Structure 1
């Protein structure tokens, strides 16, 4: 049996992560959120999660690279998009642990391999490293399938 086929059969999270890609870079982080909403509404929900998490990565990069922004500018837009776009995507992704991890890993892989056009790694490397570390911690903190399902049931959220 070929190694990739073996992994695809016996490690579904890896197989799913291999299939999803965030697609072409959008002009800025905020456009990633718009693209994520379009993908989610089109039923491409795991890919939407990847694009949304890429948008979160890029937005955090933008905000950390420009700490003096007025609170009613970028920080307010970030909070609003996380509430209106990211929340429904996260609620759906949380219904299946493998999908959730695959979406985050897809965005994490993009961020590790690519530069945001406006904030290149050579200049903002420490910020990249901090955000990637935070994403790694978030992925590691996802509870086991059984715990996640119990938490969602207790909160009245569906499991898939």
Structure 2
């Protein structure tokens, strides 16, 4: 997690990140981080996901990672050309946090679908302090549609996902 924060801090210092700066989320407890999640920069949701993954709470980690991914993709899309710099941090977080979370959650397609649906529901139920859901409604609809499409794809390919994981020597739950 410190590596994630260091990367975010370095990007902030470089001026590459154009949205609101990331506060010291490492000083917040997990419940406090959950409380501020709707108002926080999407990177905070990745920090939360990383923390939960380290605690062995893979399903919860996946829920928050997908919520963070949804919000971050929405932010980048809404910013348009100005969002390209934010995309640098999103890519770093996707690799450092998203990869292990996805490797874990894909072992159980039911949990994978549950996590993605939870992220959609959580996002719909909470305001977004960084990116206006009304001003950028069409961008939000497109991002949410992409996640719903992934849910359908996972649902339709459950057996193939399990088969490919077994062939690759990866766990299946």
TM-score, normalising length: structure 2: 0.74
Question: Counterparts of 1:159 and 1:25 in 2: how far apart (Å)?
Answer: 34
Q: Which runs of 4+ in 1 moved over 4 A?
A: none
Q: Is 2:64 the counterpart of 1:51?
A: yes
Q: Is 2:170 the counterpart of 1:154?
A: no
Secondary structure of 2:92's aligned partner: helix
* Paired positions, count: 138
**Map of 1:74 onto structure 2:** 86
**Map of 1:64 onto structure 2:** 77
User: 1:119 Cα shift?
Assistant: 1.2
TM-score, normalising length: structure 1: 0.80
Q: Is 2:55 the counterpart of 1:42?
A: yes
Residues 140 and 154 of structure 1: CA distance in aligned 2, closer, same or farther (over 3 Å): same
Secondary structure of 2:95's aligned partner: helix
**Map of 1:128 onto structure 2:** 140
Question: Counterparts of 2:139 and 2:35 in 1: how far apart (Å)?
Answer: 22
Question: Counterparts of 1:79 and 1:31 in 2: how far apart (Å)?
Answer: 14
* Unaligned stretches of 5+ residues in structure 1: 1-21
**Map of 1:140 onto structure 2:** 152
Q: Is the 8 Å Cα contact of residues 53 and 61 (structure 2) preserved in structure 1?
A: yes
* Unaligned stretches of 5+ residues in structure 2: 1-32
Question: Counterparts of 1:146 and 1:122 in 2: how far apart (Å)?
Answer: 39
Q: Is the 8 Å Cα contact of residues 111 and 132 (structure 1) preserved in structure 2?
A: no
